[in-house]
Amino acid sequence: MRLSAFFIFTAIFFASTVAGRNVPFSTEQKITGLYPPVSGVLSGKPVPESPDPLVAYRWTNPRASDGLESYLLTPVSVGIDRPENVKRIGKKTAAIRVDGPCDLMFDFGRVSAGWLEFDSDDLDGEVEMSISEYTEPAVLNAGAQHPHKTAVPVRYGNTYRLELNTELYEGVRYGWIHVRSLRRPATISAVRLVCQTKPANYEGSFRCSDPTLTRIWYTGAYTVKLNLLKEYFGAILMERSDRHSWTGDAHPSQAASMVAFGNYDFVKQNLYYTSTQFNGIAGYSLYWVLSLIDYYNYTGDRQTLDSLTDNACKKLDVAYAHYGTNPDLQFHGWDERLGAGFENPNCDESQNTYKMLSIRAWNEFAAAMDACGRSDLAAKYRAYVDEKSRELRDAGGWYDSFGIFAASDAVNAGFTNSGERQGLWRTAFTDRQQRLSYSPFNQYFVIQAMARMGRYPEALTTIDDCWGGQLRYGGTTFFEVYRPSWNDALAPNGAPVNNQCGYTSFTHPWSAGVTKWLTEEILGVKPVLPGFGRFLIAPHLSERVASVEGCVPTLHGTIRVAFDIKTGKGRITVPDGTVAAVGIPKTGRVVRRVSFDGKEMPPAARQDDDFVYYEGIVAGDYRLRVEYDGALQPVPQEAFSYACSQPVVQDSLTRGDWKGKYGSRGYILCSYDGAGNDRVNLPDFTDSVVSAKIGARLIASETDDPRALASDRSGDPFRRLGAAVTLDPLPCNQTMTFDLYNNRNCPYRVALYFVDWEREGRRSAIEVFDLKDKRLLMPVRFVENYGEGRYVILQLDRPVRLRVDQVRGTNASLSGIFFD
């Protein structure tokens, strides 16, 4: 049921009329949902870069106490797998006449939080419905109320609704109506998503000369907005058994929400809601503290800070007690280098990252305590910072073993000097591919560190690789995990790789931190004093991003900024009750003259390598004019490469006749002598192969099927086939690993033999990591159509971890590993 099987009609005829515009959206139809229709009005400016159909809607004084509201989306296109059974598509009535079995696939143009419905007065037959965030009906893990997102609809009069969980909503971009059989022709009409939303106005904005960055800002905001629930910030749209509040996930979600919506009261409510939760994850307590500091810095809300200070201190003191003891972290990110989620969360990189995160939290909390007059607590936590940073430096070479995540948190911790930051850059950041995180959640802290080091061009490259890559994949929301090489092998919006995170979510607001980063670093607006009583405007522009404009909501009013380094023109709005410092970007040039509202400014009292600063700019609207000498500084270009980059080589001809072609130096025949009983002959350069998270199957003990593996023993006429399989549908078990412990580095070849014995359409992926530091060595390799047996051949030169992931089908199934 992949998209390629469908004949696609562009469904302009599905559009509803809203405020005189033809868009696939309506608040005017009768809502058949749980919530009242959207009460906002279409009064804002259209934003073509935003995927949010409500981006221009405005509510009167939205509050944290507001409940959810509903709106309808209609499809932008429909696909039909058997068009001969669909006799008419009504352009005016949006009705489909169906005469026989078929699958109808509807694309609603964006992921939404909703459920699928249609109407029919004459349907007499068997029908099922499906939904998904990607182009195939979704399947999720055990524990979900309905792991297979396909079911017989529930009928209410002439309305048919797909109900998959008690709250109804899922993450939906695509919907299907599967007409299994009909006793007479039927008319299907009013196909729709009933979507839910919590009132939130786009009080913030962002636009720049790079349209991808503009789309990234709005996509991050939309990803958060979809997950705003009545009482708290949600963490995922798909119901896969973990759709509840996750305290650490909320840190970047709340950060993005403040700059996009200015919904400070709801952020405050969520801080209280999560104040006693940390989901058993040590680092999440510290992310909560950072969220409290973010909130205080943006609002100046001393009362809330005071009421939560004791709570924060307890969390910070636990981190102090943990420091240097290698505590049980439970989780620190899905990236292999962070222990692959729950698999090995206490690895050295995670422990070092947690230490640096602790120092950051102490340091930033001390600054907040200074700002609110609690000098006692400021001194206490600054002493923690001094003590632990001194211990690190006394030990010598303290960051030599740090990977990208520990290095990032070391920079973010705020205690490093210039020389240490340069060393950390050389140690961990110079490889463009290796500074990418599998989890965009952790990527947020990487780009924060790059900004602190002044590496803005490289940070923008990383943002494009991570978040821009998700947009190029077809995303309208940001994902739980992502690798750029998916784009090279998978169709747009295709079913993603499932792995240590389980079934991959395409709408995960923990990935939205980039929205706040763009506001603070490219638009350049940051509070200097809590609440923006004093604030900085310092846009980081370049030849790549030459202009920017946007606004930031504060409790004093809206800060507005626009600047173009090519024309030298800009404008700013400083709200009443605030004072701004304005940084005029140099971008490698000399600032010759600056004027505010036509009045030439005297030479600035302060400047650095990047900006000329004008202090004490009081409330008002200003037009800026800047004259430069010299040329724009060129933007550095970086190569994207892998340590073991190689063309994909697969073999579907050899099947089970491996001898003489593969395995000349060794082999593992999985479960060949019974389930869990491998036949093993390791090469002389490999001491052991250690597998994890695998199931074992004996598929065929004696067979003449050519897909089964021939025996390695002379005189044995029988073929056999076993398999190592993933442990689907258990959560987080859609992956298995094989660690090849070699006793020396040398070139060698590994051939992995996959067999989809039942010919059920299994699709799988292979990821290859350096066994020592867990760096990704090559693009993700995909294997499909292996019902007749297929080898995937890898050229390697070191000990590695092979991670085999399920994409679609009942488990990935690996039957042999052959060494040459």
Q: Which domains does the chain have, with CATH numbers?
A: 3-197 (2.60.120), 205-523 (1.50.10.10), 525-629 (2.60.420.10), 649-819 (2.60.120)
Secondary structure of residue 686 in the 3-state scheme = strand
Whole-model pTM: value is 0.96
Instruction: Give residue 656's identity as a one-letter amino acid code.
Output: G
How many Cβ atoms sit within 10 Å of the Cβ of residue 810?
Answer: 16
CA 790, 795, 797, 801 torsion-angle sign: negative
Are 228 and 133 within 8 A, CB to CB? Answer: no
Question: What is the rounded CA–CA span in Å between residue 809 and residue 816?
Answer: 19
Instruction: Give, in degrees to the nearest 5, the angle at Cα 688 between 686 and 689.
Output: 105
Structure-token pair, residue 309 = 């200070």
Residues forming beta bridges with residue 17, ordered by sequence position: 22
Question: What is the rounded CA–CA span in Å between residue 189 and residue 210?
Answer: 41
DSSP assignments along 107-125, one per residue: EEEEEEEEEEEEE-SS--E
Instruction: Give, in degrees to the nearest 5, the angle at Cα 54 between 53 and 58.
Output: 160
Task: Give residue 68's pLDDT.
Answer: 98
Structure-token pair, residue 594 = 């600056």
Question: What is the rounded CA–CA span in Å between residue 250 and residue 238?
Answer: 17
Kindly compute the dihedral angle of the four CA atoms of residues 494, 499, 500, 505, in this order, to the nearest 10 degrees: 20
Are 663 and 721 within 8 A, CB to CB? Answer: no
3-state secondary structure 777-793: CCCCEEEECCCCCEEEE
Are 89 and 13 within 8 A, CB to CB? Answer: yes
- Tell me which residues of the chain have a pLDDT lower than 50: 10-23, 29, 31
Instruction: Give residue 10's identity as a one-letter amino acid code.
Output: T
Question: What is the rounded CA–CA span in Å between residue 456 and residue 803?
Answer: 33
Cβ-Cβ contacts under 8 Å for 315 (sequence gap 6 or more): 278, 285, 286, 288, 289, 361
- Strand 579-585 and strand 534-537: pairing? parallel
Instruction: Give the residue among 90, 89, 132 at the shortest CA–CA distance from 494.
Output: 132
Structure-token pair, residue 87 = 């006799």
Task: Give residue 685's pLDDT.
Answer: 98
Q: Is 785 left (phi over 0), alpha (psi -120 to 50) or beta?
A: left
Question: What is the rounded CA–CA span in Å between residue 136 and residue 130?
Answer: 9
Task: Give residue 17's pLDDT.
Answer: 30
3-state secondary structure 560-610: EEEEECCCCEEEEEECCCCEEEEEEECCCCEEEEEEECCEECCCCCEECCC
Task: Give residue 646's pLDDT.
Answer: 85
Task: Give residue 2's pLDDT.
Answer: 60
Question: What is the rounded CA–CA span in Å between residue 556 and residue 550?
Answer: 17
Question: What is the rounded CA–CA span in Å between residue 761 and residue 653?
Answer: 18
Cβ-Cβ contacts under 8 Å for 523 (sequence gap 6 or more): 206, 539, 548, 549, 550, 552, 561
Instruction: Give the residue among 784, 787, 777, 781 at the shortest CA–CA distance from 804.
Output: 781
Cβ-Cβ contacts under 8 Å for 316 (sequence gap 6 or more): 286, 289, 358, 361, 362, 365, 381, 384
Reported as a single tens digit per residue, the pLDDT across 396-427 is 999 999 999 999 999 999 999 999 999 999 99
Instruction: Give the residue among 484, 453, 452 at the shortest CA–CA distance from 467.
Output: 484
How many Cβ atoms sit within 10 Å of the Cβ of residue 615?
Answer: 13
Task: Give residue 88's pLDDT.
Answer: 75
Task: Give residue 34's pLDDT.
Answer: 84
Distances, alpha carbon 335 to alpha carbons 320, 343, 715, in Å: 25, 11, 47
Question: What is the rounded CA–CA span in Å between residue 759 and residue 784?
Answer: 11
Structure-token pair, residue 285 = 């307590």
Are 93 and 87 within 8 A, CB to CB? Answer: no
Reported as a single tens digit per residue, the pLDDT across 29-59 is 454 558 999 999 999 999 999 999 999 999 9
Task: Give residue 11's pLDDT.
Answer: 40
Question: What is the rounded CA–CA span in Å between residue 153 and residue 177?
Answer: 10
Task: Give residue 20's pLDDT.
Answer: 29
Residues forming beta bridges with residue 126, ordered by sequence position: 181
Question: What is the rounded CA–CA span in Å between residue 332 and residue 377?
Answer: 28
Question: What is the rounded CA–CA span in Å between residue 287 and residue 306?
Answer: 18
- CB neighbour burial string for 628-645, b if at least 16 within 10 angstroms, e if fewer: beeebeebeebeeebebe
Cα separation of the two ends of the chain:
38
How many Cβ atoms sit within 10 Å of the Cβ of residue 21?
Answer: 12
Are 780 and 496 within 8 A, CB to CB? Answer: no
Residues forming beta bridges with residue 113, ordered by sequence position: 171
Task: Give residue 12's pLDDT.
Answer: 35
Per-state percent for the chain, helix, strand, coil, to nearest 5: 25, 30, 45
